[in-house]
């Protein structure tokens, strides 16, 4: 009965659901606090108090017809201006409200960007490991996702292979920084080299290639790490942002796209993206949350909370003898499986009530992802379990 495109997604989804159900069953049997669930990227830090205060203030002082009503498909002008001003202050950019389009989270923003740009058969390049939903998003518009294999030494993008894979059919490149699942931040040097390759290839093929930067984790950066603003390195950049992590509002579906004036045919791209928000069925980003953002544009969740988790989990795993890249940002830790088949490693970990996601789910087998957006107690309590797991993995030690 369902469409051919949906059939493989339904089949694949059953596997994911089976994993979740197994986790739920484990919690039902052993108790929530006896299962160490690192499988979900669902923030557990509450929204900052400014969010509640903003909602109360809006409900008290604004006309409900305005608060809950339609506005331009691109969003309330005051919200877009507040965001543009904030970006300009922080990153020395020069955006105005017309460069900012409010979207139903970053996932919807990426879809809007791809719907705006892609013709059937166009190629979109991304770098493994990557968030597998990118494949569905590109398929929504009959594009072809081209995956560059991982550089497991640094988890910076493999630019040699990238350069070979850029073709006359390349319409867009998706990057994600800070990065899910590795926690790596793309360095300024990486962005400069990436931009130089794109410039050369645009000239070689006489094409325009858009760099789509998926940045829901921008504010989650540790040890003073700088997350370079991508529009400053390459003019044909579209930034997709979300408040899911920075304000812990993942369920509210609120984010934005940045389309700079310097981008090729910027005016037309902005017009088309605005229409794409409408005809995709979203119509506009949720109105009350847009007004909240206008009031909370510089608020942030408590990043120190995630940082404490990061250090505790990283140090604990290193002490156990596991090999991990220390995350610079986001709330994920990518750990090397002690043996090639990381799915077997994930199965073994379940005996110790530890739930992790196999790297194969990010096109990077041999690794596992741990989402440390959990309570600090969960991390502390999990460490003896990881030690027991390590003893099984490294019996010689």
**Which residues, numbered 219-248, are part of the site for a second copy (CB under 8 A)?**
248
Tell which one of 283, 302, 318, 392 touches a second copy (CB under 8 A): 283
- Collect contacts of 216-219 with beta carbons under 8 A, ≥24 apart: 216/106, 216/240, 216/241, 216/242, 216/244, 216/245, 216/246, 216/255, 217/176, 217/177, 217/178, 217/179, 217/180, 217/245, 217/329, 217/330, 217/331, 218/178, 218/246, 219/245, 219/246, 219/300, 219/301, 219/303
Coil vs helix vs strand at 26: helix
Tell which one of 117, 145, 166, 389 touches a second copy (CB under 8 A): 117
Which of these ranges, 85-93, 225-233, 267-275, 389-397, lies near a second copy under the rule CB under 8 A?
Answer: 267-275
272 near a second copy (CB under 8 A)? yes
252 near a second copy (CB under 8 A)? yes
Which of these ranges, 67-75, 213-221, 307-315, 354-362, lies near a second copy under the rule CB under 8 A?
Answer: 67-75
Instruction: Give the total of residues touching a second copy (CB under 8 A).
Output: 76
Q: Least distance in Å: CB of 11 to a second copy? A: 10
257 near a second copy (CB under 8 A)? no
| Closest to 325 (Cα-Cα) out of 308, 339, 310 | 310
Coil vs helix vs strand at 151: coil
Tell which one of 15, 70, 340, 396 touches a second copy (CB under 8 A): 70
Range 332-371, binding a second copy (CB under 8 A): none
Range 14-43, binding a second copy (CB under 8 A): 40, 42-43
Coil vs helix vs strand at 144: strand
Strand partners, 371: 332
Q: Least distance in Å: CB of 79 to a second copy? A: 12
Tell which one of 82, 83, 84, 107 touches a second copy (CB under 8 A): 107
276 near a second copy (CB under 8 A)? yes
204 near a second copy (CB under 8 A)? no
The rounded distance, in Å, linking the Cα atoms of 391 and 397 is 8
| Closest to 84 (Cα-Cα) out of 102, 66, 71 | 102
For a second copy, the closer of residues 252 and 342 by Cβ is 252
């Amino acid at each position: 009965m369902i469409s051919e495109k949906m059939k493989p997604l339904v089949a694949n989804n059953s596997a994911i659901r089976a994993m979740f159900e197994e986790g739920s069953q484990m919690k039902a049997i052993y108790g929530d606090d006896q299962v160490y669930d690192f499988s979900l990227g669902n923030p557990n830090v509450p929204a900052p108090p400014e969010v509640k205060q903003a909602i109360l203030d809006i409900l008290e002082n604004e006309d409900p017809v305005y608060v809950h009503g339609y506005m331009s498909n691109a969003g309330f002008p005051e919200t877009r201006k507040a965001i543009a001003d904030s970006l300009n202050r922080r990153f020395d950019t020069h955006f105005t409200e017309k460069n900012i389009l409010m979207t139903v989270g970053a996932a919807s923003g990426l879809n809007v960007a791809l719907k705006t740009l892609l013709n059937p058969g166009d190629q979109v390049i991304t770098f493994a490991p990557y968030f597998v939903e990118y494949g569905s998003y590109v398929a929504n518009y009959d594009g072809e996702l081209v995956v560059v294999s991982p550089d497991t030494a640094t988890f910076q993008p493999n630019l040699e292979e990238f350069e070979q894979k850029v073709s006359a059919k390349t319409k867009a490149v998706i990057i994600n920084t800070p990065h899910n699942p590795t926690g790596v931040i793309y360095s300024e040097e990486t962005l400069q080299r990436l931009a130089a390759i794109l410039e050369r290839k645009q000239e070689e093929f006489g094409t325009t290639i858009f760099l789509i930067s998926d940045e829901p984790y921008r504010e989650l950066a540790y040890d003073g790490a700088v997350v370079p603003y991508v529009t400053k390195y390459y003019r044909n950049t579209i930034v997709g942002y979300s408040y899911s992590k920075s304000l812990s509002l993942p369920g509210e579906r609120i984010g934005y796209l940045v389309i700079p004036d310097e981008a090729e045919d910027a005016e037309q791209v902005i017009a088309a993206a605005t229409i794409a928000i409408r005809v995709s069925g979203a119509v506009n980003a949720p109105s009350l949350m847009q007004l909240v953002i206008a009031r909370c544009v510089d608020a942030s969740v408590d990043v120190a909370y995630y940082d404490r988790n990061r250090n505790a989990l990283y140090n604990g795993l290193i002490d156990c003898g596991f090999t991990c890249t220390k995350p610079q940002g986001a709330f994920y830790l990518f750990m090397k499986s002690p043996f090639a088949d990381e799915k077997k490693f994930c199965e073994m970990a379940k005996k110790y009530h530890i739930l992790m996601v196999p790297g194969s789910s990010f096109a990077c087998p041999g690794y596992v992802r741990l989402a440390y957006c959990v309570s600090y107690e969960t991390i502390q309590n999990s460490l003896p379990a990881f030690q027991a797991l390590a003893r099984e993995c490294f019996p010689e030690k």
